[in-house]
Amino acid sequence: MAILVNEEKKLFTLNTKSTTYQMKVIDYGYLAHLYYGKRLDGDMSYVITHYDRGFSGNPNDAGEDRTFSMDNIPQEYSCYGNGDYRTPAFNMKDIEGVHGADLRYVSYEVLNEKYSLKGLPAAYTEGEKGETLKIVLMDDVNGVQVTLLYGVIEDKDVITRAAIVKNVSDADVFITKAASTSLDFVSGDYDIIHFHGRHAMERMFEREEITHGVKKIGSIRGTSSHQHSPFVMLADRAANEDHGDCYGISLLYSGSFNCEVEKDQTDQIRLNMGIQDEMFEYVLYPGSEFVTPEVAMVYSADGFADMTHKMHDLVRYNICRGEYKTKRRPVLINSWEAVYFDFDGDDIVNIAKKASELGVEMLVLDDGWFGVRNDDRSGLGDWFVNEDKMGGSMADVVKRVNDLGMKFGIWIEPEMISEKSRLFEEHPDFAFRIPGRKPVMSRSQLNLDFSRKEVVDCILEQMFKVFDQINVEYIKMDMNRSIANVYSITEGIQNNGTILYKYVLGVYDFMDRLQARYPKLFIEGCSGGGGRFDAGMMYYTPQIWCSDNTDAICRLDIQYGTSFGYPISVVGSHVSAVPNHQTGRITPFNTRAVVAMAGSFGYELDLNKVSDEEKEEVKTQIAAYKKYWDLMHNGLYYRLTDADKSKKIAAWSFVSRDKAETLVNIVTVDSFCNSPVPFVRVKGLDADATYVDEATGAEYSGQGLDQIGLPVPLKFGEYNAYQIHLVRK
């Protein structure tokens, strides 16, 4: 049993292969957090200490005891208003507008399987053991019950959390904050590692010491966003790739979120993560429930690489789903950077033709095939084929592509509406707009109100009509603006604070219904590249276009940051033309391919326009991708350098789980004359073995590769890349 309950002590212990999580019901029915970290035995109740601290309130039940304060006790689900002045995990308002909560223990239940969440993504188990601990807490005054859910996937070292808030009173209650997880640490010096960014430059690594006060990251954009990732790490100050305590915490949610870390007056640390509470106010009618998104947590005593391996395995095998969950995805060519909006059916077939000759397996028709859409100012919401522009039916184009032996994929952006569209003429109320205010525009489009089922239905019905007629095997589902103008005619003013949450549920429902209608369909996520790159989305889209920036050198940083919490298989990555369309940089064709292979591989250019030499290279690249795919997607990923450019090279590797082979990838990011030889220390190998470079026959000792490293070849020219395949002798 991974979940141990000591009824007498009211002690709950969750054990995974190498981690332990422990909590206990203490005096007056409060649920205290005792420990989360390396696997330990025994009762850690001693971590709770009691001292009289000025201005830290005491529960009335404690009588004259001034040493008992929620302000100091590590807790599982802290509340605003019961004497704890730190950043709370939970708060609510009663019908009179009075804030506050005080949750006390009621009961527990252990289930022999991992829970799932209705309408929301949640990690699942398949052929491996999962367990659930439910702990019911209650606020007697407002009649609100909170069920804390803990999922344990023992073999993967994963603990998940979520909460269900239920109104058991006969008056409305308003939830103003409901985190998915709250972790209190009574000791330790921690850094917070988070991944900030912007459009076309997502998930930049940042590490900061947690100092007194509150550090907050998150999104109020209605999506998880380019600007902050809902995956963070908490790491011991001394931890690095290979050593030290670190926690990976990933929120399975694709909307506005919030992560706060606080160092309090006595140097204790709290981390809360969950749905964004700004502008959030969820009205809970008598008898109704609110379900928080799930958070998945892993801990490693052995540094970032080991934490990453655990997170990668969780996302790849317990969150991603569908036909292509673990299958090699077809090598695709996408029309966007090849022709943008300027194409007809013949142009698309021509791109497909050359690509298929060179070994590409799927053609993806990007934006511009529907409504009236020759630029980004019109047409969104009108999901019928523009046959005039295409010069015929979509069925004809798809057939011609299929006849080349290629699969066909198509782009959609279901959550949007252009003011210049038939849909807007017919249903202006489908768009988010606030009465009396001029709407905030972005890319000349508005957000559709996906909190309303009839809006989701309308978009799905239009799309079904198109997709029922063609053999579509892949969909790229895009989302190209942040949400604003939040107002829904069905929710009205009173329930405005619920809309963005319901919107995300609407998006999940859309994807569920699309997948149900076409069970073999492979959906790739996208939001202007990686603006909705989160573990929640990955439950529906096992691949996500990682960034609109296809520059190989920028991608090194983007893919480096992305790699901490998300597996390689999810990262959509393409070879594009030079000069690069986003940066103007020129990089060698091979370098672009090596970088794109650290993901799910494809092309984003017109292969009719590359040189004959490069056409031959495409064949070699695809052969290499197919050869190494299993190693890359199912092996263990190691970062061999960090984001520090002064090191002149970027390197990463894939190691098979039996350590029999590794593929070392190196890109030089700067060039010098008469350069010193850089050495890359190769990780994760068998120290006692000898490894042979498959291409040159050179031999290396496993220990040498680890301790001294692999010499990086020196070659004339800028931005060279190497893929070195080492095989155990």
- Chain residues binding ligand GLA by CB under 6 A are 336, 366-367, 376, 411, 478, 480, 526, 528-529, 545, 548
* Residue 534 among the catalytic residues: yes
Q: Edge-to-edge, what's the strand order for the sheet holding 721-728? A: 636-639, 649-655, 661-668, 721-728, 690-693, 699-701
Alpha-carbon gap, residue 685 to 696, rounded angstroms: 19
How is residue 188 written in tokens?
Answer: 């330790």
> What interhelical angle do 612-634 and 589-596 show, nearest 10?
20
Phi-psi region for residue 237, left (φ > 0), alpha (ψ -120 to 50) or beta?
A: alpha
Smallest gap from Cβ 456 to ligand GLA, in A, equals 21
Could you count the other beta carbons within 10 Å of the beta carbon of residue 312? 25
Q: Nearest distance from residue 526's CB to ligand GLA, in Å? A: 5
Closest-approach residue to ligand GLA (CB) = 367
CB atoms < 10 A from the CB of 557, how many? 21
Residue with smaller CB distance to ligand GLA, 398 or 477? 477
Partners of 388 in beta bridges: none
E strand or H helix that includes residue 357: helix 345-357
CA distance 684 to 660: 10
- Bridge partners, residue 21, by sequence: 14, 36
Kindly tell me which of 174 and 336 has the beta carbon lying closer to ligand GLA.
Answer: 336
- Chain centroid to Cα 648, Å, comes to 29
CB of 328 to ligand GLA, least distance (A): 22
Minimum separation from the CB atom of position 412 to ligand GLA (A): 10
What is the rounded (10 degree) CA torsion for 633, 638, 639, 640? -130
Helix, strand, coil abundance in the chain, percent, nearest 5: 25, 35, 45
Closer residue to ligand GLA (CB): 32 or 526: 526
- Is residue 248 within 8 A of residue 311, CB to CB? The reply is yes
CB of residue 541 to ligand GLA, shortest distance in Å? 13
For the bound state, the minimum distance from the C-beta of residue 223 to ligand GLA, rounded and expressed in Å, comes to 13
Comparing CB distances to ligand GLA, the nearer of 94 and 548 is 548
Separation of alpha carbons 364 and 543, rounded Å: 14
Structure tokens at 164: 């269900």
Q: What letters, b where the CB count within 10 A reaches 16 and e where it falls short, cover 504-519?
A: bbbbbbbbeebbeebe
The DSSP line for 102-120 is --EEEEEEEESS----TTS
Give me the amino acid identity at 155.
Answer: D
Between residues 76 and 478, which has the closer beta carbon with respect to ligand GLA?
A: 478
Beta strand 144-153 with 131-139 is antiparallel
Torsions phi, psi for 326 (to 5 deg): -120, 0
Residue 647 beta carbon to ligand GLA: minimum distance, rounded to whole angstroms: 30
Question: For this structure, is 614 an active site residue?
Answer: yes
Please, what is the Cα angle at 425 between 423 and 428, to 5 degrees? Answer: 80
Question: Would you say 380 or 632 has its CB closer to ligand GLA?
Answer: 380
- Backbone φ and ψ for 61, nearest 5 degrees, come out as -60, -25
- Residue 531 CB, nearest approach to ligand GLA (Å): 8
Of the two residues 276 and 335, which places its CB atom closer to ligand GLA in the complex? 335
Cβ contacts of 518 within 8 Å, gap of 6 or more: 467, 472
Omega into 567 within 30° of 0, i.e. cis? no
Biggest distance spanned by C-alpha atoms of the chain:
86
Distance, CA of 598 to CA of 721 (rounded, Å): 13
CA 442 from chain centre, in angstroms, equals 24
Q: Are 416 and 485 in contact (CB under 8 A)?
A: no
Position of tokens 């640390």? 269
Check 206, 396, 614, 718 and give the catalytic one: 614
| DSSP symbol at 678 | P
Q: Please choose, from the candidates 368, 375, 362, 440, the residue with its C-alpha nearest in 3D space to the C-alpha of residue 404.
A: 362
Which member of 84, 534, 557, 604 is catalytic?
534
Shortest separation between residue 583's beta carbon and ligand GLA, angstroms: 16
- Both structure tokens of 586: 């020129």
CB of 405 to ligand GLA, least distance (A): 25
Report the alpha-carbon angle 243-247-253, nearest 5.
Answer: 145
Least CB distance to ligand GLA at residue 369 (A)? 11
Comparing CB distances to ligand GLA, the nearer of 116 and 374 is 374
Q: How many CA atoms lie within 13 A of 300 on its CB side?
A: 21
Q: Which is nearer to ligand GLA, 297 or 507 (CB)?
A: 507
Assigned token pair, 557: 């940083």
CB of 552 to ligand GLA, least distance (A): 17
Query: 237 is written with which tokens?
Result: 């100050």
Q: With respect to ligand GLA, which residue has the nearer C-beta, 545 or 560? A: 545
Nearest distance from residue 604's CB to ligand GLA, in Å? 8
Q: Which is nearer to ligand GLA, 303 or 531 (CB)?
A: 531
Spatial contact of 425 and 396, defined as CB atoms under 8 Å apart: no
Nearer to ligand GLA, 351 or 526 (CB): 526
Bridge partners, 146 (sequence order): 137, 165
Phi/psi of residue 662, each to 5°?
Answer: -145, 150
Distance between terminal CA atoms of the chain?
A: 41
Distance between alpha carbon 212 and the CA centroid of its chain, in Å?
A: 28
**Known catalytic residues?**
534, 614
